């Protein structure tokens, strides 16, 4: 496989960009080898700078629910850009996207647009703290919520242990405003809430935890979060940056039948452009400036090009995109099940979100995930890449189908997987 141009570009990149990238996992450190520089995409396919063709199952880490360069989005972006890329005033495009969001997800009584998922989450947490007048945030081990200081915190041991920073540069005092608990453990959560519930501003969770593999939760666990937060006057924030508008119009909230106080969005909502949003109950969202005292702003927030892309994406999903997305995902699962069956692996799927994990049964919490799987994944990843299938370059990332993944490319994926799994489990591997 010729990666000459990618290699040369990566060398130039390393001279200027820390680690050669703009976001860490892209550097391929956990799978090894040269990061692939993608140059062009069309539907389910992408081509790199050397002209190698891939069936893409990373899909820009989630935004591309319709595949690469879907016509409705490209047309909307082109038309909007020709009119001017940014005004710094309110625009019709942001009103239209907010109306679309609220129509699809009625829990979004008020919506504020930002430019990334990270911003959406940090702003939602600030709104929750402003609304409740409390500081403490509860998150779950293995859930990723972007790179705000107090969210880069992993579990300390013990129940109510305050968090320790997961990144250099995060002050301990900031990390201490976050308590980290295990997923899948109602008892631990109820114990924390009975001890400290009155201090808790918000409990934040990825209802479909998809950043440390795919740690599907029991509905009872998610229901306990709603029950206890209500009891203690804390807010529940569902981080739907991945699941939002991917699992259908109502996202995970509708899938599990849970009404949070706040929702956060990113990825799909921007149609592949930089958009995030936080939304929710009117009385909570009305604390956000200028309606209320919680400050949050953005030069490019509500940018008309990005807003138009988001609306084109959501409307195309509504016009049959979600149905095609589910059909493609069910097809891929049906193709892969018999192939993975002989191996000690679990294929986990919810909607168009997949994870292949090297253990059985599939884990539901991060502490149950066997880190040794990463070594096998490295071999699998390499073998898939050589067979023209682009998977996320980390064992603990999920893969995504899009509405553009037709049966032909899905069969290519299955054929590649049959050979790649055999290689990953070769004697001595
Ligand atoms: C990707 C992600 C974020 C962060 O979004 P960015 O746009 O990368 O800042 C937050 N929460 C979840 C659940 C995510 O998957």
Helix, strand or coil, per DSSP, at residue 198: helix
Nearest to 236 by CA among 124, 144, 130, 153: 124
Taking the domain 4-68+321-424, which CATH number applies?
3.90.1150.10
Distant-in-sequence, close-in-space partners of 29: CB < 8 Å, separation ≥ 6: 19
Domain edges within the chain: 4-68+321-424, 71-314
Ligand 1-lining residues (CB < 6 angstroms): 116-118, 121, 144-146, 206, 211, 239, 241-242, 266, 276
Q: Parallel, antiparallel, or unpaired: how do β-strands 136-140 and 200-205 relate?
A: parallel
Measured distance CA(366)–CA(421) in Å, rounded = 24
Arithmetic mean of pLDDT, 361-377: 93
Q: What phi-psi label fits residue 267: left (phi over 0), alpha (psi between -120 and 50 degrees) or beta?
A: left
CA distances to 36, 45, 53, 59, 352 from 41, rounded to whole Å, are 13, 6, 9, 10, 19
Closest listed residue to residue 380, CA positions, set 363, 344, 356, 401: 356
> DSSP labels for 328-354?
HHHHHHHHHHHHHTTSS-EEEEETTEE
Nearest-angstrom CA–CA distance, 354 and 376:
17
Query: What DSSP character marks residue 59?
Result: G
Query: Which is the catalytic residue, given 48, 139, 144, 378?
Result: 144
Nearest CA among 147, 144, 125 for reference residue 134: 125
CATH class of the domain defined by 71-314? alpha beta
The pLDDT-based confidence of 156 (bands split at 50, 70, 90) is: very low
Which of 21, 58, 144, when mutated, tests ligand 1's pocket best, judged by the most ligand atoms within 8 Å of its CB?
144
| Mean pLDDT for all residues in the chain | 95
CB–CB of 215/183 below 8 Å?
yes
Ligand 1 center–CA 195 separation, angstroms: 30
Active site residue 267: yes
Structure tokens of 377?
């994944």
Q: Is the pLDDT of residue 409 over 80?
A: yes
Q: Which residues lie closer than 8 Å to 235 by C-beta, 6 or more apart?
A: 128, 131, 132, 201, 202, 203, 229, 260, 261, 262, 284
Residue 146 CA, closest ligand 1 atom number: 4
> Are the folds of 4-68+321-424 and 71-314 the same?
no
Rounded Cα–Cα distance for residues 53 and 1 (Å): 11
Specify whether the CB–CB gap between 363 and 256 falls below 8 A. no
CA 245–ligand 1 middle distance (angstroms): 14
Beta bridge partners of 264: 239, 278
pLDDT band at 199 (very low <50, low <70, confident <90, very high): very high
Question: Which of 143-147, 253-257, 293-297 bottoms out in mean pLDDT, i.e. has the lowest?
Answer: 143-147
Q: ∠ CA(49), CA(378), CA(426), 5° rounding?
A: 120
User: Where residue 428 falls among pLDDT bands split at 50, 70, 90?
Assistant: low
pLDDT of residue 154: 64
Task: Return the pLDDT at 164.
Answer: 61
Q: Give me the mean pLDDT over the 137-152 stretch.
A: 91
Q: Report the candidate in 258, 259, 141, 272 with the shortest Cα–Cα distance to residue 211.
A: 141
Q: Supply the pLDDT for residue 161.
A: 42
In the numeric block, the tokens 């049906």 are attached to 334
Q: Which of 56, 256, 261, 267 is catalytic?
A: 267
| DSSP state string for 261-308 | SEEEE-GGGGTTSS-EEEEE-HHHHTTBTTTSSB----TTTT-HHHHH
* Residue-level pLDDT at 153: 79
CB neighbour class for 149 (10 Å; exposed up to 12, middle 13-18, buried from 19)? middle
Render pLDDT for 163-184 as a digit per residue (tens, 0 to 9).
566 788 888 888 889 999 999 9
Closest ligand 1 atom to residue 116 Cα is: 7
Closest C-alpha to ligand 1, atom 8: 117
Cα angle: 238, vertex 243, 245; to 5 degrees? 110
Least confident among 25-34, 250-259, 265-274: 25-34
Pairing outcome for strands 235-239 and 53-56: unpaired
Q: Is the peptide bond before 192 cis (omega within 30 degrees of 0)?
A: no
Q: What is the pTM of this model?
A: 0.96
CA angle at residue 26 from 21 to 31, to 5 degrees?
130
Please report which confidence band the pLDDT of residue 354 belongs to, taking 50, 70 and 90 as the band edges.
very high
354 within 8 A of 400, measured Cβ to Cβ: yes
CA distance linking residue 66 with residue 70, whole number of Å: 6
Catalytic residue among 239, 256, 261, 390: 239
Residue 50: active-site member: no
| Per-residue pLDDT tens digits for 67-104 | 999 999 999 999 999 999 999 999 999 999 999 999 99
Taking the centre of ligand 1 as the mean of its atom positions, its distance from the CA of residue 116, in whole angstroms, is 7
Phi, psi of 182 (to 5 degrees): -75, 150
- Asked if residue 157 has pLDDT above 50, the reply is no
Residue with tokens 């891929």: 332
Distance (Å, rounded) from C-alpha 313 to C-alpha 268?
A: 8
| Percentage above 90 pLDDT, the chain | 91
**pLDDT exceeds cutoff 60 at 6:** yes
CA of 346 to the centre of ligand 1 (A): 25
Distance 244 CA to ligand 1 centre (A): 11
What is the rounded average pLDDT of the residues 200-211? 97
DSSP letter (8 states) at residue 317: I
pLDDT above 50 (res 4): yes
Cα angle value 388/389/391 (rounded, 5°): 145
Whether the pLDDT of residue 374 is over 80: the answer is yes
Burial group, residue 21, by CB count within 10 angstroms (0-12, 13-18, 19+): middle
Q: In this structure, what DSSP letter does residue 318 have?
A: I
Atom of ligand 1 nearest to the CA of 276: 7
pLDDT at residue 158 tops 60: no
| pLDDT score of 287 more than 80 | yes
Residue 383 pLDDT > 50, yes or no? yes
Confidence of residue 402 (pLDDT cuts 50, 70, 90): very high
CB hemisphere CA count around 133 (13 angstroms): 2
């Amino acid at each position: 496989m010729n990666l000459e141009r990618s290699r040369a570009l990566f060398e130039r990149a390393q001279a200027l960009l820390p680690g050669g990238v703009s976001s860490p996992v892209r550097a391929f450190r956990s799978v090894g080898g040269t990061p692939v520089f993608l140059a062009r995409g069309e539907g389910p396919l992408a081509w790199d700078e050397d002209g190698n063709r891939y069936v893409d199952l990373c899909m820009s880490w989630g935004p591309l629910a319709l595949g690469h360069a879907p016509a409705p989005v490209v047309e909307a972006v082109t038309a909007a850009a020709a009119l001017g890329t940014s005004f710094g005033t309110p625009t019709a495009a942001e009103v239209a996207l907010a109306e679309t969001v609220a129509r699809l997800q009625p829990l979004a009584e008020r919506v504020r647009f930002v430019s990334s998922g990270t911003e959406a989450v940090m702003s939602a947490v600030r709104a929750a703290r402003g609304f409740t007048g409390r500081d403490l945030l509860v998150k779950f081990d293995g859930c990723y919520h972007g790179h705000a200081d107090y969210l880069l915190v992993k579990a300390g041991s013990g129940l109510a242990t305050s968090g320790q920073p997961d990144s250099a540069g995060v002050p301990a005092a900031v990390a201490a405003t976050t308590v980290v608990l295990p997923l899948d453990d109602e008892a631990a959560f109820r114990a924390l809430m009975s001890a400290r519930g009155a201090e808790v501003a918000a409990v934040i969770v990825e209802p479909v935890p998809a950043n440390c593999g795919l740690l599907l939760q029991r509905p009872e666990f998610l229901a306990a979060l709603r029950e206890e937060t209500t009891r203690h006057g804390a807010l529940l924030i569902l981080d739907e940056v991945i699941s939002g508008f991917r699992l259908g119009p109502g996202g995970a909230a509708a899938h599990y039948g849970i009404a949070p106080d706040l929702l956060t969005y990113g990825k799909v909502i921007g149609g592949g452009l930089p958009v995030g949003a936080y939304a929710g109950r009117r009385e909570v969202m009305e604390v956000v400036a200028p309606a209320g005292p919680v400050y949050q702003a953005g030069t490019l927030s509500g940018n008309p090009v990005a807003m138009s892309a988001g609306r084109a994406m959501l409307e195309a999903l509504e016009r049959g995109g979600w149905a095609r997305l589910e059909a493609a995902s069910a097809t891929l699962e049906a193709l892969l099940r018999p192939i993975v069956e002989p191996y000690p692996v679990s294929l986990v799927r919810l909607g168009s979100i997949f994870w292949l994990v090297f253990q059985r049964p599939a884990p539901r919490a991060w502490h149950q995930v066997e880190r040794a799987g990463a070594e096998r994944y490295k071999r699998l990843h390499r073998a898939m890449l050589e067979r023209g299938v682009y998977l996320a370059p980390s064992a603990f990332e999920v893969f995504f189908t899009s509405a553009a993944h037709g049966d032909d490319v899905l069969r290519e994926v299955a054929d590649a997987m049959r050979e790649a799994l055999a290689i990953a489990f070769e004697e001595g591997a």
